[in-house]
Amino acid sequence: MIAVEAGIAAVFVIVAAAGITGPAWLLAAGLAGHGAKDLWQQRSHNVANTRWWSPFCLVVDWVVAAILNVLIAAGVDFHH
């Protein structure tokens, strides 16, 4: 299980690193994907001691992803 979590974390790190210098939609996609992972963890009861964390993190991830999508659609340049 730790190897699976480490692999998933590595994918999110790679997407985040690419989004820093690449297109901003990668950051929005990464956040949305991380929220989906949180939803999966909550539904699969994969989090034992902090059952509140996955829903909280899901909401934060999806709200920030939505804000980024609005900013991207508005033409905000993230790479000055």
Query: 24-66: per-residue pLDDT in tens?
Result: 999 999 999 999 998 988 888 777 777 788 899 999 999 999 9
Name the pTM for this structure: 0.84
Banded pLDDT at 3 (limits 50, 70, 90): very high
User: What does the pLDDT read at residue 69?
Assistant: 96
Residue 22 has pLDDT above 80, yes or no: yes
Query: Do 58 and 39 contact (CB within 8 A), yes or no?
Result: yes
